[in-house]
Amino acid sequence: MQRGAKVLVETCAGVRSGEHVVIVTDADRVNIAREVAKAATAVGGEASVVVSPFRSIDNEEPTAPVSAAMNLADVIYLPVTHALSHTAAVRSAIAEGARVVSMSAFTERMMDEGGLFADFATRRLLCQATARRLSAASFVRVTNPAGTDLSFSIEGRSGNSHACIVDQPGFTAVPNIEANTSPVEGTTEGVLVVDGSIPYYGVGVIAEPVRFAISGGFVRSIEGGNQAGFLRDLLARQNDKWVYNIAQFAIGLNPECREFTGEMLNDEGVNGTIHIGIGTSSSLGGVVQAKTHFDAIIRKPSVWLDSEEVIRDGEILLA
């Protein structure tokens, strides 16, 4: 895990000597946290590991001592079981000047191999260029061999670049390099056939494709095998129509995230895949606050921005 920790400290956040580093974790991920602390100490940072009580769902606020500690940190790492990314505690720490590296559901495997070992500085240029293209474009069409054919408007929406480097107050999730945007509410039409991964709720890598029929910006039906049935029931139980909202469109750009593993931050970064986020969009530039948010990743997409093909069968044509 030492190599991964070094990347997190030296490349992703660029920890400097004398900086106060806070690593928020829980009992299941203390080993990862301690490796990051060691690497931060090695560059002269003053690193404290804060072991938080287990939280029951993603994006539940941490307890008061944890958020108080985060507010005084220069750099924060978040190797936690349930995401802290979209919490008031993180927003407040960023407002106080923190650089935040999100590591939700991180695994020891991810410290040793894969996405963390990409050339972030180089990929960042591609990611930023892709985000600019998303900002400039008005209309997106996505297809894939499994049967996806989806269209939506992104007019007036800005593209965001997340390239695993946070060199000023702000946030990045690692090792997921992605450029994303938020489709205009109500505009998404077509079919999304998910044959990659749904790294949420324990669904994981897809065994039998999950077919989402979408109209007017909402998922209208979910068909497929056991995983489809599980997801359909879980969403129905939320009693919230907004959990079906098409919230996000993102392009994975990490060449070292090679295969789907069911690990969220790995799967979403797999190079040349796209994912559609469903549910909450308010933290992504949209306006919807739903009870949950999940991402569905497809293999070998072809993507057109307005009339220009930018990905063909999973091969990125942008430069």
Taking CB under 8 A as the rule, does residue 13 contact other proteins?
A: no
Taking CB under 8 A as the rule, does residue 88 contact other proteins?
A: no
Taking CB under 8 A as the rule, does residue 71 contact other proteins?
A: yes
Considering the complex, state which of residue 11 and residue 48 has its C-beta at the smaller distance from other proteins: 48
Taking CB under 8 A as the rule, does residue 51 contact other proteins?
A: yes
d(Cα 26, Cα 55) in Å, to the nearest integer?
A: 9
Considering the complex, state which of residue 33 and residue 297 has its C-beta at the smaller distance from other proteins: 33
Q: Which of 3, 10, 11, 41 binds other proteins (CB under 8 A)?
A: 41
Provide CB contacts within 8 A for 37, sequence distance 6+. Answer: 21, 23, 47, 48, 49
Q: Which of 50, 110, 206, 297 binds other proteins (CB under 8 A)?
A: 50
Q: Which of 12, 70, 103, 235 binds other proteins (CB under 8 A)?
A: 70
d(Cα 130, Cα 162) in Å, to the nearest integer?
A: 11
**CA atoms within a 13 Å half-sphere pointing along the CA-CB vector of 89:** 22
Write the CA distances from 273 to 26, 87, 97, 142, 267, integer angstroms.
31, 27, 33, 11, 9
Quote the DSSP letter at residue 258.
Answer: -
Residues near other proteins (CB under 8 A), total: 23
Q: Which of 64, 156, 307, 319 binds other proteins (CB under 8 A)?
A: 64
**CA atoms within a 13 Å half-sphere pointing along the CA-CB vector of 309:** 9
Q: How far is the CB of 104 from other proteins (least distance, A)?
A: 19
Taking CB under 8 A as the rule, does residue 81 contact other proteins?
A: no
Taking CB under 8 A as the rule, does residue 63 contact other proteins?
A: yes
Q: How far is the CB of 105 from other proteins (least distance, A)?
A: 20
Longest CA–CA separation in the chain, Å: 54
Q: Which of 28, 31, 72, 220 binds other proteins (CB under 8 A)?
A: 72
Instruction: Estimate to the nearest angstrom the gap between the alpha carbon of 34 and the chain centroid.
Output: 23
Considering the complex, state which of residue 20 and residue 141 has its C-beta at the smaller distance from other proteins: 20
CB atoms inside a 10 Å sphere around CB 282: 14
Closest C-alpha to 15, from 103, 126, 128, 98? 98
Taking CB under 8 A as the rule, does residue 57 contact other proteins?
A: no
Q: How far is the CB of 20 from other proteins (least distance, A)?
A: 6
- Residue reference for tokens 């949209």: 286
Quote the DSSP letter at residue 97.
Answer: T
Q: How far is the CB of 69 from other proteins (least distance, A)?
A: 4
Instruction: Estimate to the nearest angstrom the gap between the alpha carbon of 42 and the chain centroid.
Output: 29
Q: Which of 36, 49, 131, 297 binds other proteins (CB under 8 A)?
A: 49
Provide CB contacts within 8 A for 156, sequence distance 6+. Answer: 184
Considering the complex, state which of residue 41 and residue 238 has its C-beta at the smaller distance from other proteins: 41
Taking CB under 8 A as the rule, does residue 34 contact other proteins?
A: yes
Provide CB contacts within 8 A for 141, sequence distance 6+. Answer: 149, 150, 151, 303, 304
Q: How far is the CB of 201 from other proteins (least distance, A)?
A: 25
Taking CB under 8 A as the rule, does residue 42 contact other proteins?
A: no
**Does residue 156 contact residue 184 with C-beta atoms inside 8 Å?**
yes
Taking CB under 8 A as the rule, does residue 73 contact other proteins?
A: yes
Binding site for other proteins (CB under 8 A): 20, 22, 34, 37, 41, 46-53, 63-66, 68-73
